[in-house]
Amino acid sequence: MKLLGALLTLFIAVFLVSGCASLDKTSDKVADTNTNSSCTEGGCTMGDEDTADTNELAKEFTIRESNFELDVKEIKVKQGDKVKITVINDEGFHNFAVPDFDVKTKMGSAPKEMTLEFTADKSGEFPYFCEVIGHRNAGMEGKLIVE
């Protein structure tokens, strides 16, 4: 009977881990901007600094979520910048939070696209991550650097 219980426990553990299976950490993109910026799976692109007053426009970023991975591990902005982060959940059940700026998305299953907007009103390094239990520890985190 103990063997059956152990096998059942092992089966459940394997099933849960396989449901959140992608542990590929090959994408460590960094978004650094002094102007409007957009980061997607293909990389980060900078906006044209001369076309508008950059203090008026939000610094825009796109982060894709999949199981145990955020494709952008670091975002850099200036203190006082308005920040807009579009989070695209491609796979699994996730949310996205930047607790030091008191913003987060609702938890939900893929496919889903969510947007956060806030002002980076303090300088420092601040973590962002998925709040689903175990996901941050498995690699779904990055940092917002406010200079």
pLDDT digits (tens, 9 = 90+) for 62-85: 999 988 999 999 999 999 999 999
Whole-model pTM? 0.64
Name the token pair of 135: 């996901």
Q: How do the domains of the chain map onto residue ranges?
A: 23-146
Sign of the CA dihedral with 98 first, then 100, 103, and 106 last: positive
Q: Which residues of the chain have pLDDT under 50?
A: 6-8, 10-55
Give the span between the Cα atoms of 147 and 137, in whole angstroms.
26
Closest to 128 in 3D by CA, of 75, 86, 79, 88 = 75
The reported pLDDT for the residue numbered 1 is 59
The third-level CATH classification (topology) of the domain covering 23-146 is Immunoglobulin-like (2.60.40)
Q: Which two tokens stand for residue 102?
A: 């008191």
